[in-house]
Amino acid sequence: MLGLFDNRGRAMSTSGLQKLAFFLLVAVTLYVAFTGGGA
Amino acid sequence: MSQRFGRRYSPTPVPGDKPKLKPFHGKTRARAGARVNILFLLPFPFLIGAFFGSPAALALKLITAGLIFLAAWLTREGVLAEEAFEARSVAKRPALPRKFLGSVAMGAGLGLAGLAAGSVFNGLIFLGLGFALHTLSFGVDPMRDKTSASADDLQSERVAKAVDKAEQHLKELTEAIERTKDRPLEMRVETFKNTARQMFRTVEQDPRDLVAARRYLGVYLLGAKDAAIKYSELAVRGPQPQARADFDALLTDLEINFAQKTETLLADDRTALDVEIEVLRDRLDRERL
């Protein structure tokens, strides 16, 4: 799913973790942009 | 008259008809792809939002947008530098930890946006989140120099320097030919670069080859670059079929010479391997009582 999981029995691959972190980074940035810094 | 069909894809190739290297040979997809491009889009909500608040908020949000742009740019450069680092077997680490600085700029940008809302605590939270998430998504810069297993640091450094210089010649050669807008010639230069790079990799893997290859990495590439610059100066003025043919012939000659030299270097390496195997097998033989 979205390349988050690998096929070697690991729940999450390194690149999957990177993708998740990147997704969160975008989400946090948009949150800050649209709420004006959580005000 | 009739000629037996036998080329690259036929089962019995014509003897001596060696398949040429493709221009894309040995290259991989650039990793500075979608994710880095998305980073460049992130400042836009801040840029637009900046114009719907007080002047102080406007300034802070514009600075935030600038910092995120800076982070995106640094990250792209960092990813490209890391790729260049990984492509070589002997390399110095990037002088500037660009990805790390990108993380700092990202954290600072988001932290500033948090401060704009008037809360230092929010600012600190976003600073931490921005820095940590950016570092997690793009990883850390290469920290240590890559040296060859069969050479000391000094030798590896010498090789890295020589290859750097040779790469610079190749870059200038490419730029000169790009100015001529001659697509077939550009592709021709690409195949030559592949051949030259095979020699670079061979030298990197065994720095002892540097002495033998120094003329190729230095004088010949410098000559090729100068010829390319002269040719491109002529070619931009108008078609120069004779000069083009001469330059093409020069590239062919260089390519053949580089390929042959690489072969000899590899043969030397193979001899060294053979000796190593021979000695070990002899010793094992003697152990067998």
Mean pLDDT of chain B: 84
pLDDT of residue B144: 82
Higher-confidence residue of B178 and B14: namely B178
Instruction: State pLDDT tens for residues B3-26.
Output: 666 666 666 655 555 556 666 766
Torsion sign across C-alpha atoms B180, B183, B184, B186: positive
Nearest residue of chain A to residue B54 (CA atoms): A36
User: Residue B234: is its pLDDT beyond 60?
Assistant: yes
Distance from CA of B113 to the nearest CA of A (A): 5
B53 sits in the region (left: phi over 0; alpha: psi -120 to 50; else beta) called beta
Distance from CA of A35 to the nearest CA of B (A): 9
CA distances from B20 to A6, B191, B195 (A): 37, 8, 10
Facing residue for A39 by CB, picked from B117, B125, B136? B117
Instruction: State pLDDT tens for residues B202-228.
Output: 888 877 778 878 888 888 888 889 999
Largest pairwise CA distance in chain B: 91
Distance from CA of A3 to the nearest CA of B (A): 14
Q: Give the closest residue to B193 by CA, choosing from B16, B17, B21.
A: B21
Task: Give CA–CA dist B71/B85, Å, rounded.
Answer: 20
Residue B93 and residue B145 in contact, taking contact as beta carbons nearer than 8 Å: yes
B131 touches chain A (CB under 8 A): no
ipTM > 0.90, yes or no: no
All residues of chain B having their beta carbon less than 8 Å from the beta carbon of residue A36 are 49, 53, 57, 113, 116-117
User: Residue B87: is its pLDDT beyond 60?
Assistant: yes
- Which region among B2-6, B162-166, B264-268 has the lowest average model confidence (pLDDT)? B2-6
User: Residue A37: is its pLDDT beyond 90?
Assistant: no
Cβ–Cβ gap A38/B122 under 8 Å? yes
Cβ–Cβ gap A19/B137 under 8 Å? yes
Instruction: State pLDDT tens for residues B116-160.
Output: 777 888 899 999 999 999 999 998 888 887 776 666 777 778 888
- Grade residue B63 by pLDDT with cuts at 50, 70 and 90: very high
pLDDT of residue B22: 67
Higher-confidence residue of B271 and A1: namely B271
- Which region among A15-24, B20-29, B258-267 has the lowest average model confidence (pLDDT)? B20-29
Cβ–Cβ gap B133/A28 under 8 Å? yes
Residue B37, number of CB atoms within 10 A of its CB: 11
pLDDT of residue B106: 94
Higher-confidence residue of B30 and B226: namely B226
Cβ–Cβ gap A18/B45 under 8 Å? no
pLDDT of residue B69: 95
Residue A17 and residue B132 in contact, taking contact as beta carbons nearer than 8 Å: no
